Amino acid sequence: MNKDLFFMQEAIEEAKLGLAEGEVPVGAVLTLNDEIIAKAHNSPISSIDPSCHAEVNVIRNAARVLNNYRLEKTSLYVTLEPCAMCCGLLVHSRIENLVFAASDPKSGAVISNTKLLDADFMNHKVRYSQGPLEGKASDLLKSFFKARRL
């Protein structure tokens, strides 16, 4: 199995944990040297903190594990295209590589609404790609919001 697929599957499993807690099902995995150093999912509802996106949570966890606020040479796998807040965090924490599954036409800031990671004013460049399991990640989100509307 290719590594992007493997790590994105792990992020999907994190999203499912968030779903079980009543959170919007977005999951994230952060790797260093092709090893998982942190996993997390969305938790703004349970944390009563609007900043607790999966990306924020996994980066906070990884910084503690590495005892460093700079996460150089790491890769972030996330089930949904990051928003503007999370893109800023990726830059400031020096994430090297981003792989996301589903695009986010409403709030995505990597390819959907703006290309924030490509902005000239950013002092660090994050490589990014839309990776595997887009359908699976998208289906999780669609089923969550469909159930909320019933």
| Secondary structure of the chain as H, E, C letters | CCHHHHHHHHHHHHHHHHHHCCCCCCEEEEEECCEEEEEEECCHHHHCCCCCCHHHHHHHHHHHHHCCCCCCCEEEEEEECCCHHHHHHHHHCCCCEEEEEECCCCCCCCCCCCCHHHCCCCCCCCEEEECCCHHHHHHHHHHHHHHHHC
The catalytic residues are: 55
